[in-house]
Structure 1
Amino acid sequence: MINLTKILAAILVLLAIALGGYAWMLSRQAPAPVAAATGPAAAPTKAKEVLVYPVVVAAKTLPAGEAIPADALRVERLTINPAGAFQDASVAAGRVPVIDLAEGTPLMENQLVSGLALRVAEGERAVAIKTDEIMGAGNKIQPGDFVDVFITLKSDGKDVDRSQARLLLSRKRVLAFGSASVDGMPSKSPDKAAAQQAQRNEMARTAVLAVPVDEVNRLTIGDASGRLMLALRNPNDMSQPDPKLFAELPTALQPVSSKAGEARRAPLEGLDLAQAGLTALDLSTGGQGSNVKPAAVEARAVAATANRRAATGTGTRGGLQVEVIRGERSETVNY
């Protein structure tokens, strides 16, 4: 009995020693579960990356109204992607800002000149004239067409033979006609064909033409002094009147004469010719306005001369004679 007790005590001691050793081993392996627990929590932090976008920004101050040089732009990677921003600097180069842009400012479409102004070529101006269905070729003109501009100058009822009609401007491009325009304005109608038909049915009140700057005076004076007519022409028809066949019209402002010893100045052209201007009289008479007198003035002058001759007894027998001059025509009337 005593031996059995000793045996059980020895077994319990060994068991206690074994459990102590096992506990010691577990204590040494405790950090591993902690590391495993923190691993999944760190994974989302590493996977969370910041998104960046390529955006064109001003590399230096961009003044309004001046074309943007290519070296004034750079592409930066930003955390924002503004609406209307550019991703390629070459696309924005050459555009013109409407406001001053500071260095580092993202370049956006609404900050640049757009619309019909971009369709006007260098040396041209977009000029609007009044129009109606008859003047506008039955409302069949569309943006992008080419037209000839004719003018009709009507005189008063007493001098009808001085009325004239002639070509004023040749082969001018139509930028806009009524509400339709070549700048590609989006239509409210989802059906493009229906939108074009609606624009045709709408009565056009104005037409915008691309006119060289030195010919704008002709168009504006003609629109104010007479009635214009737009003649639609085939775009493949490149024919133009020969300017060498007609004398140049004098300008409203006379250029400064060349000084002695200076080379003769070249004829005015472009903006200089536009600055010099044009008078309605020279437009209607072909530059001979100062040499052509109205018929009524000529008749009064001749009648006065005839009356003086009759009073002095030098007049023609049988009454007075009045010479009436209309342009190059001369007519003698006996009284």
Structure 2
Amino acid sequence: MSRYVRIAALALLLLALALGGYAWLLGRKPPPPAAGAPAAASAPAARQYAVVVAAKPLPAGEPIAQDAVRVVQLPLKPADALADTAAAVARVPVYDIAENTPLTESQLVSGLALRLEPGERAVAVKADEVMGVGNRVRPGDFVDVFFVLKSDGKDVDRSQARLLLPRMRVLAFGSASVDGAPAAAGNGQRGNAGRPEPARTAVLAVPVDQVNRLALGDASARLLLALRRPDDEAVPDADLFAPLPTALQPLPVRAPAPPRPPLAGIDRAQAGLATADLAAGGSARAPQPHAAPTPRLAPQVRGVAAGPSGHEVEVFRGAQRETLHY
């Protein structure tokens, strides 16, 4: 093979290698975007959060209905925002909430109010170590409330101790509460020396018509909490005792209206209770029907025969009899 043929073959080989390398480089480059096609996003899509918002204006103090809230996707999630409509339905707004406003826990009623049953009220009474079973009472316990009345010569004729309210549910004792984490031993906050401070109040769930009893007992007597087992549901038989009279008497029923049922619930709470009635009990001071006033009799004059010294007249005033001479 001549020298020129070898040189030409080598040149062709080098050219082939160069073209192959160029083709490999072209294969690694992305294809150019098609005409009219949108350019690929240069950054990843922003994160979205599920947030419950008001589907319509929500008035303060009214429970939220199922159709009043909905879930939307937002790029930002407010602090303590709700993510599920089930967490908002039947809750009560603290203030008016406008449409499309994200719902948060701080906008809705919370705390002990949600731990009450219908017809119950949360009532705080003074507490100490003795009253609170040596600070062994815990939120969620059931207790019997006893009271000790001392004779004062006025409303209380004699000293006595009685069961005031049976099986009351404890909502809070000291700083420990059923709607939060339990406090440290002693149920109180830590003082300056690091020691737990004793509890000063106990919060009980009380039927509204029994709040008067607890209020009078706390103001006029010494209260004691007796801890009971949670499955012990024994309560006194109300039929064995006369009901306590109320401080206010209801209006009389006018005929032909049917008889009015006994006061109960918030109506009995409105009627109130007197300390003397709480101390004496219903049997000693049971309400009596109002008797019709006794009509005053006009003096009756009866003439009688005149005596030797003049005339006599007998005057009758009710059951009294008097003879006048003239």
Which residue of the partner structure matches residue 239 of structure 2?
A: 244
What TM-score, normalized by structure 1, do the two folds share? 0.68
Which residue of the partner structure matches residue 3 of structure 1?
A: none
Pick the aligned partner of 2:185 from 186, 189, 197: 197
Which residue of the partner structure matches residue 170 of structure 1?
A: 166
Q: Secondary structure at the match of 1:138?
A: coil
Tell me the distance in 2 between the aligned counterparts of 1:164 and 1:234. 26
Which residue of the partner structure matches residue 216 of structure 1?
A: 211
Aligned residue pairs total 249
Q: Secondary structure at the match of 1:265?
A: coil
Pick the aligned partner of 2:86 from 90, 97, 100: 90
Rate the CA distance shift 1:159–1:85 in 2: closer, same or farther, 3 A.
closer
Which residue of the partner structure matches residue 263 of structure 1?
A: 258
Which residue of the partner structure matches residue 123 of structure 2?
A: 127
Deviation at 1:155, TM superposition (A): 0.7
Aligned positions of 1:58-97 closer than 5 A? 58-97=54-93
Which residue of the partner structure matches residue 277 of structure 2?
A: 282
Deviation at 1:161, TM superposition (A): 7.7
Which residue of the partner structure matches residue 11 of structure 2?
A: none
Residue type of the alignment partner of 2:86:
S
CA RMSD of aligned residues (A): 2.8
Structure 1 or 2: more helix by fraction? 1
Pick the aligned partner of 1:142 from 138, 152, 172: 138
Rate the CA distance shift 1:211–1:290 in 2: closer, same or farther, 3 A.
closer
Which residue of the partner structure matches residue 43 of structure 1?
A: 40
- Do structure 1's residue 272 and structure 2's residue 260 form an aligned pair? no
Deviation at 1:160, TM superposition (A): 9.9
Residue type of the alignment partner of 1:230:
L
Flag structure 1 segments of 5+ consecutive residues without an equivalent: 1-32, 188-194, 292-335
Deviation at 1:77, TM superposition (A): 2.0
Q: Secondary structure at the match of 1:196?
A: coil
Which residue of the partner structure matches residue 248 of structure 2?
A: 253
Deviation at 1:66, TM superposition (A): 1.4
Deviation at 1:114, TM superposition (A): 1.1
Tell me the distance in 2 between the aligned counterparts of 1:168 and 1:233. 15
Deviation at 1:279, TM superposition (A): 0.5
Deviations 1:89-129 (A, max 9, x none): 12210111111101111111111111121111111001000
Deviations 1:142-191 (A, max 9, x none): 11111101111101489998111110000001111111111114x7xxxx
Deviation at 1:65, TM superposition (A): 1.3
Residue type of the alignment partner of 1:43:
A
Tell me the distance in 2 between the aligned counterparts of 1:271 and 1:225. 23
Tell me the distance in 1 between the aligned counterparts of 2:33 and 2:69. 50
Which residue of the partner structure matches residue 51 of structure 2?
A: 55
Which residue of the partner structure matches residue 114 of structure 1?
A: 110
Rate the CA distance shift 1:42–1:167 in 2: closer, same or farther, 3 A.
same
Deviation at 1:74, TM superposition (A): 1.1
Deviations 1:190-233 (A, max 9, x none): xxxxx532536531111010000000000001111111111111
